[in-house]
Amino acid sequence: MTTSFEEKLSKTAKRLGISIEQMPRHVAIIMDGNGRWAQRKGFPRAEGHRQGGKTVETIAQCCVDFGIESLTLYSFSIENWKRPEDEVNALMHLYAQYLVGIRPTLMKNNVRLVHLGRLDGLPLSVKKELQKTIDMTGSNTGMILALALNYGGRAEIVDAAKLIAQEYKEGKLQLKDINEKVISRHLYTAGLGEPDLLIRTANEMRISNFLLWQISYSEFYVTKTLWPDFKKAALEKAIMAYAKRSRRFGTIA
């Protein structure tokens, strides 16, 4: 880990009154409640998604400032294609705009964007801007921002199994060599590390097919706050709740 991560983590921990060991290094968030936020305010659902996009920028900046190494955001699931066509089209338009608009901030903060999910099925405009942003930020050495877009946890495991089967067929892998490390290496999240803290907004008590392999030992935090209203104070509250947990990983404390 670079000194900058350690310095920021230490400063944040001190400000929150906890130890640096109690700070999460990788935070994953299931961003929920955009539609409900819009409905409560009498706005169209698209406005909720726009406000949700602004919250992404706010929370990503907070994580950079806090010294978080990786931030993984569940943005659009494979199942979300079942939503009304107008809403999906509006979302895809927002993604293309967002991927262009966020570039200066990513570069300023030395953030590297990675994509989790299947490119097949995404509109050409989204794929184009996504790849351009990934390429532009590819050499950045700060926080990793992982965007789960057209993502499904089961699909990820299926895709990993196919890659492993292909390598076995080509003689690159022996049956005896296939273990948890090999599976992890073939997932979309290869090289990311597993989330320490998984946050879900809007008081939903579901995993929703998100990071099924990776969250085996993640600490869960659920808040009633809708995603557009999730700000710095809410993130700090989640970190403080995480700091109180005893992470035993199957052992006795």
| Three-point CA angle 202, 148, 30, nearest 5° | 15
Residue 220: beta bridge partners? 198
- Catalytic residue IDs: 32, 80
Contact between 145 and 111 (Cβ < 8 Å): yes
Residue 73: beta bridge partners? 29, 147
What token pair was written down for 40?
């409560």
Alpha helices by DSSP H, the chain: 3-16, 34-41, 45-66, 85-101, 103-108, 124-137, 153-169, 180-185, 232-243
Per DSSP, the three-state class of 142 is coil
